Structure 1
Amino acid sequence: MESLFASTCSSYDAAYLIGIALDYMINQGFDYTDPYQINSAIRAQKFTGCTGVVSIDKSSNDRVMDIFDIMASKIDTNSGNVNSIQNGWISPIW
């Protein structure tokens, strides 16, 4: 079920990205039949979608990945120092 959810969310975000890019182009008076202008408009978008924040890297056309560290922290009651270790990472996309 999780893979179906992830696939559905990714598809929704991809369709939404194209939709808002075309809406942006129409409102700005750009030629939405020009593939270069469409690519530029897609790269200019950023929104919070089903899988998290969606934006496209301008140099590679890849989705910008947000990765979060999972940390465990403990306060040393004697010194007041906080000791943290990384337990892993998570991306809302995967």
Structure 2
Amino acid sequence: MSDLEIVKARTGLWAVVASDLAIIIAIVVAITLGPTGGELTPLLTSAFTAITAITTAYFGIKAVTNTAATALKGKDPNAKKRPASSVDPPEPGDSEDR
């Protein structure tokens, strides 16, 4: 990884962590200031949905970006080296019709 890629990855991760923390702080303040019972459930549901969406989007985009970069470089460490055709050609005179 180049230095630029490392900086981009760290910056993106910090942005996700900061936004998740901001949502958590907003929820704690909102709970402290007053909603009770039925008002609290939609508030918590929305907060957890936002945190999940932000975090999942970051890691999803990061995974796709890494996969695309690896594919473009042609250096997939998980790819097995194999011949272009994994099926042996038939021998002359071999026939399954016999």
Higher Cα Rg, which structure = 2
Return the structure number with greater strand share. 1
Whichever structure has more helix as a proportion of its residues is 2
Please give the TM-score of this superposition, normalised by the length of structure 1.
Answer: 0.36
The structure whose RCO (Cα within 8 Å, separation 6+) is larger is: 2
